[in-house]
């Protein structure tokens, strides 16, 4: 079979395969209405012709719609989980997505620059750490949306979970269970931490002067392990620990289990994010879920809106959070001291 | 300050900042030789002018060097860890990288198509699952390299770790410790599994008919948890378990710890990959390390070579593995039965 001289179309595939154009469309879209044998036949012919289903046509349709760039961290499950909703929202808007990863050897600035030189029409940055001043300068060239960090007061459009709401849900859950001595294992470099910290202090202050203590945590399992060491070496242990995220909570839980501290009988643990590890059957972390679908969709919508019209002031979109009660929180047992 | 009419160059930045072009270069490359105050000043001026350091110049230099596309899974730490070396190797070759992620809602075929329509010059696929026939058809259009799965016998260039070597290292380590009843928790859908399984059976067969048993595992923590259930419900327990990867080993370890089975005193566990979780201080998994730097560099080199010259036969590059001994393997204690 000789391939057509032009870029093969769905019609070329249909003619070569001896089927209707509509059937080719059904097969290429994986829509119902074709037998497995037909699907295989059509896909084989399409591949032989070099026909690229959907994507190339989509690219033609969207060629005046510049790509949305996304800067994310490969080692943050929260970031990679967000990609799903970002892809979905961009696809609905017929916009291609270009990813640029922050890795051990590739910093945030380089990740951002590669998107700018790629002529993206807008950039979404997950938890940016670059100086807001630098980011603001970039917004003069193209729309830039910060996700999971509010930089609105620094002039950057931002989409975040309502971190204060999330922490308030966590502390209310714990106080309803009777906890009166609670730690917050913060992650002081992470987006959202200032809001979570402030909400933690406000909520626990109402319970009395010594109810709430902020300790150094982090956003990875190893940080949670260090919180566990602190817990084990403290005279006046808390009855509950709210962790910055689920990875930190998992590290804390794992070390306590190994030290024969019973969770939740001796200490309740609550995470943040509802990451996949939180629902593992042996882990069953109580956590605060972020609404990834809405976060991603809102970020894409805002990026597109900004690429169509500039606005004088940076806006903030706050997405509500939800408490997921699982097995690591329970009623506080009154201390015998 | 009025921005220059043309795309600003390093010289424009130097003139506007009142410094030498060499100093701008130092600052933009984060090379030693400038004070923090100077760095800040130069970066501020550069941002005001809309100068994009490095990347745009690189893009100009590389505009006739098409991008290398990479298809990866966001939920596989082994994949995201590989991105680092892929980026590094591509940068050395002055080739841009375009990532395309496989997520919960975005399949492998769509991830691949978006790269093809992006006019990448070559595609590197991490653990491809698409039918080799389809992949082979694509190689008629552009070079396609499979990583972490050997499809060489199906006509696809492949770069993998030497999985047989890795499993042999694992079993030799265990037999040197006196283990005589060993399980392999396989992941039957994963690249590399056929080679690891065959090596496991070959090595354990030499020890006697009942020395080696293959059980159903997987490549995530939850799969390891299921292996643990099997272990706990088995009359004749193995003294050691080799897991398909570290996530599976961690899930096994976590459930055994919770069931008060002592690791490694009662059972040794060995993983594969040397993922970040393997070296967590409370986990200390013995594992088989894959050489990510060499895997990534070799894949990029092969992709570039293939885009310059076609070769009649698909090639296979096998990268050696290394045993990392940590705390989850120990001498087998002779059974009293």
Domain of A144, CATH number, reads 3.40.50.2300
CB contact under 8 A, A117 and B59: yes
> Mean pLDDT, to the nearest integer, of A112-136?
90
User: How far apart are alpha carbons B217 and A285 in whole angstroms?
Assistant: 23
Structure tokens at A50: 């070099």
Question: Are A170 and A284 found together in one domain?
Answer: yes
Q: Are A282 and B258 an interchain contact pair (Cβ–Cβ within 8 Å)?
A: yes
CB-closest option in B101, B277, B283 to A99? B101
Q: Say if strands A157-161 and A268-270 run parallel, antiparallel, or are unpaired.
A: unpaired
Give the strands of the sheet with B212-216, arranged side by side: B212-216, B182-186, B240-243, B268-273, B286-289, B322-324
pLDDT reading at A90 higher than 80: yes
Check: CB of residue A243 under 8 Å from CB of residue A255: no
Higher pLDDT, B195 or B52: B195
Residue A35: φ, ψ to 5°: -75, 155
Residues A252-268 have pLDDT tens digits of 999 999 999 999 999 99
Domain co-membership, B179 together with B273: yes
> Rounded distance, CA B239 to CA B232, Å?
12
Q: Report how far residue B195's alpha carbon sits from residue B160's, in angstroms, rounded to the nearest whole number.
A: 11
Check if the beta carbon of residue B192 is closer than 8 Å to that of residue B180.
no
Does residue A334 sit within a domain? no
Sign of torsion over alpha carbons B20, B23, B28, B29: positive
- Is residue B59 very low, low, confident or very high in pLDDT (cuts 50, 70, 90)? very low
CA distances from A294 to A300, A302, B310 (A): 10, 12, 46
Give the span between the Cα atoms of B248 and B221, in whole angstroms.
5
Q: Which chain A residue has the Cα nearest residue B256? A: A282
| Pairwise CB contact (< 8 Å): B140 & A50 | yes
- In this complex, do A251 and B280 lie within 8 Å of one another by their Cβ atoms? yes
B199 to chain A nearest CA, in Å?
31
**Candidate from A54, A100, A110 with C-beta closest to B113:** A54
pLDDT at B330 over 60: yes
pLDDT mean across residues, chain B: 89
Among B60, B77, B96, the domain boundary falls at: B60
Which residues in chain A touch residue B74, judged by CB atoms under 8 angstroms apart?
80-81, 83-84
Q: Give the least confident one: A41-50, A95-104, A119-128.
A: A41-50
Cβ–Cβ of A83/B74 closer than 8 Å? yes
Contact residues on chain B for A99, CB-CB shorter than 8 A: 98-101
Residue B1 predicted with pLDDT over 50: no
Q: Please check whether residue B96 is in contact with residue B90, taking contact to mean a CB–CB distance below 8 angstroms.
A: yes
Q: Which two tokens stand for residue A150?
A: 């509010």
Per-residue pLDDT at B265 exceeds 50: yes
Cross-chain residue pair A75–B43, CB shorter than 8 Å: no
**pLDDT average, residue stretch B241-247:** 97
Give whole-number Cα distances, B183 to A174, A194, B220, B283, in Å.
Answer: 43, 48, 17, 20
CA of B273, closest CA in chain A: separation in Å? 15
Among A111-115, B260-264, B328-332, the range scoring the smallest mean pLDDT is A111-115
CA torsion through residues A216, A221, A222, A225, sign: positive
Pairing relationship of beta strands A68-73 and A157-161 according to DSSP bridges: unpaired
Q: Which residues of B touch A138 (CB under 8 A)?
A: 47
CA distances to A9, A75, A263, B33, B34 from B23, in Å:
53, 34, 57, 8, 7
pLDDT of residue B22: 76
The pLDDT assigned to A19 comes to 84
A335 domain residue, yes or no: no
A102-116, A125-139, B68-82, B317-331: range with highest mean pLDDT: B317-331
Q: What is the mean pLDDT of chain A?
A: 89
The residue range of the domain holding B55 is 10-60
Mean pLDDT of B100-106: 90
How far apart are the C-alpha atoms of A171 and A139, rounded to whole Å? Answer: 37
Which helix (H) or strand (E) segment is B307 a member of?
A: helix B292-308
Q: What is the arithmetic mean of pLDDT over B11-19? A: 86
Residue A268 lies inside a defined structural domain of this protein: yes
For residue B209, the distance in angstroms to the closest alpha carbon of chain A comes to 34
* B238-267 residues labelled b (16+ CB within 10 A) or e (exposed): bbbbbbbbbbbbbbbbbbbbeeebebbeeb
Select from B45, B96, B254, B260 the residue whose CB has the most chain A CBs within 10 Å, as the one to mutate to test that interface.
Answer: B254
Position B105 scores a pLDDT of 85
The residue assigned the tokens 């050395």 is B92
Q: Are residues A269 and A151 in the same domain?
A: no
Q: Supply the pLDDT for residue A82.
A: 94
pLDDT mean over B288-292: 96
Residue A327 lies in a domain: no
**Rounded alpha-carbon distances, angstroms, from residue A73 to A114, B80, B98:** 15, 9, 15
**DSSP-based three-state secondary structure for B331:** coil
Contacts of B140 in chain A (CB under 8 A): 50
Mean pLDDT within A183-188: 97
**Cβ contact, residue pair A80, B98, below 8 Å:** no
Nearest chain B residue to A247 by CA: give it. Answer: B277
Q: What percent of chain A has pLDDT over 70?
A: 92
Question: Which positions ≥6 away from A331 have C-beta within 8 Å?
Answer: A177, A178
pLDDT above 90 (res A3): no
Q: In this structure, are B170 and B284 located in the same domain?
A: yes
A179 and A266 assigned to the same domain? yes
Whether residue A44 and residue B137 make contact (CB cut-off 8 A), yes or no, is: yes
Q: Does A97 have pLDDT greater than 50?
A: yes
Q: Which residue of B72, B103, B136, B276 is the best one to mutate when testing the A interface, meaning the one whose CB has the most A CBs within 10 A?
A: B103
Residue B9 pLDDT grade (very low, low, confident, very high; cuts 50, 70, 90): confident
Is A126 inside any structural domain? yes
Return the pLDDT at B56: 43
Average pLDDT over residues B278-301: 96
Specify whether A182 is located in the same domain as A35: no
Q: Which residues of A fall within a CB distance of 8 Å from B257? A: 257-258
In angstroms, the separation between the Cα of residue A209 and the nearest Cα of chain B is 34
Higher model confidence: residue A200 or residue A209?
A200
B179 and B238 in a common domain: yes
Q: Is residue A104 part of a domain?
A: yes
The residue ranking higher by pLDDT, B138 or B255, is: B255
Do residues B299 and B153 both lie within one domain?
A: yes
Flag whether pLDDT at B261 surpasses 50. Answer: yes
Judgement on whether residues B153 and B182 belong to the same structural domain of the protein = no
Crossing angle for the helix pair A10-17 and A36-49, nearest 10 degrees? 120
Q: Does the residue A330 lie in any domain?
A: no
Instruction: State the Cα–Cα distance between residues A97 and B111, nearest whole angstrom.
Output: 11
Preceding peptide of A264 cis, ω within 30°: yes
CA distance B32 to B23: 10
Look up the CATH number of the domain holding residue A20: 1.10.260.40
The answer on pLDDT for A321 being more than 90 is: yes
User: Which pLDDT score is estimated for B337?
Assistant: 46
| Residues A180, A169: Cα–Cα separation, whole Å | 15
Q: What is the pLDDT of residues B162-220, one digit of tens each?
A: 999 999 999 999 999 999 999 999 999 899 999 999 999 999 999 988 899 999 999 99
Lowest mean pLDDT among A36-45, A284-293, B26-35: B26-35
**Residue A123 lies inside a defined structural domain of this protein:** yes
Identify whether residues A157 and A297 lie together within a single domain.
yes
Residue B60: pLDDT over 70: no
A179 and A35 inside one domain: no
What is the reported pLDDT for A226?
98
Edge-to-edge strands of the sheet including A157-161? A316-319, A157-161, A144-147, A122-126, A68-73, A97-102, B97-102, B68-73, B122-126, B144-147, B157-161, B316-319
The size of the A-B interface in CB pairs under 8 A is 142
The answer to whether the Cβ–Cβ distance between B134 and A43 falls below 8 Å is: yes
The pLDDT value given to residue A60 = 45
Note the Cα A227 to chain centre separation in Å.
24
If you average pLDDT over each of A52-61, A65-74, A303-312, B177-186, which comes out highest? Answer: B177-186
Least confident stretch, B18-27, B278-287, B290-299: B18-27
The ipTM is 0.79
Asked if A117 lies within 8 A of B52 by C-beta distance, the reply is yes
What's the Cα-to-Cα distance from A127 to each of A189, A192, B34, rounded to whole Å? Answer: 10, 9, 28
> Does residue A234 contact residue A263 with C-beta atoms inside 8 Å?
no
Best of A27, A84, A226, A227 to substitute, by most chain B Cβ atoms within 10 angstroms, is A84
Residues A298, A149 share a domain = yes
pLDDT band per the 50, 70, 90 thresholds, residue A53: low
Number of domains forming the structure of chain A:
3
Chain A residue whose CA is closest to B70:
A99
| Cβ(B185)–Cβ(B244) below 8 Å | yes
B60 or B119, greater pLDDT: B119
Residue A41 has pLDDT above 80, yes or no: yes
Beta strands B240-243 and B268-273 are parallel
- Coil vs helix vs strand at B273: strand
CA distance A207 to A238: 14
Residue of chain A minimizing CA distance to B53: A113
With H, G, I as helix, E, B as strand and everything else as coil, classify residue B21: helix
Please give the residue that has the higher pLDDT: either A140 or B277: B277
């Amino acid at each position: 079979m000789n391939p057509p001289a032009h870029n093969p179309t769905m019609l070329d595939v249909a003619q070569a395969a001896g089927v209707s154009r509509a059937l080719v469309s059904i097969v290429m879209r994986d829509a119902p209405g074709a037998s497995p044998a037909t699907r295989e036949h059509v896909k084989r012919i399409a591949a032989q012709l070099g026909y690229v289903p959907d994507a190339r046509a989509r690219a033609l349709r969207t060629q005046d719609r510049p790509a949305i760039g996304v800067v994310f961290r490969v080692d943050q499950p929260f970031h990679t989980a967000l990609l799903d909703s970002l892809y979905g929202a961009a696809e609905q808007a017929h916009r291609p997505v270009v990813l640029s990863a922050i890795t051990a050897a590739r910093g945030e600035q380089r990740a951002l620059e590669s998107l700018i030189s790629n002529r993206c029409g807008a950039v979404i940055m997950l938890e940016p750490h670059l100086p807001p001043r630098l980011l603001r300068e970039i917004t003069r060239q193209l729309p830039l949306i910060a996700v999971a960090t509010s930089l609105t007061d620094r002039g950057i459009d931002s989409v975040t979970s309502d971190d204060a709401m999330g922490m308030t849900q966590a502390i209310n859950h714990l106080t309803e269970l009777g906890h009166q001595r609670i730690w917050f294992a913060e992650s002081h470099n992470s987006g959202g931490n200032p809001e979570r910290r402030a909400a933690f202090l406000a909520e626990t202050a109402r319970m009395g002067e010594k109810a709430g203590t902020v300790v150094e945590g982090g956003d990875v399992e190893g940080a949670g392990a260090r919180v566990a060491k602190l817990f084990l070496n403290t005279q006046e242990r808390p009855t509950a620990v709210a962790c910055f995220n689920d990875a930190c909570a998992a590290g804390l839980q794992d070390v306590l289990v190994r030290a024969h501290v019973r969770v939740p009988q001796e200490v309740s643990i609550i995470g943040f994010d509802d990451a996949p590890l939180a629902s593992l059957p042996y882990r069953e972390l109580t956590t605060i879920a972020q609404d990834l679908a809405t976060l991603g969709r809102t970020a894409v919508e805002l990026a597109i809106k900004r690429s169509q019209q500039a606005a004088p002031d940076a806006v903030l979109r706050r997405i509500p959070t939800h408490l997921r009660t699982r097995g690591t929180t329970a009623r506080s047992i009154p201390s015998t001291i």
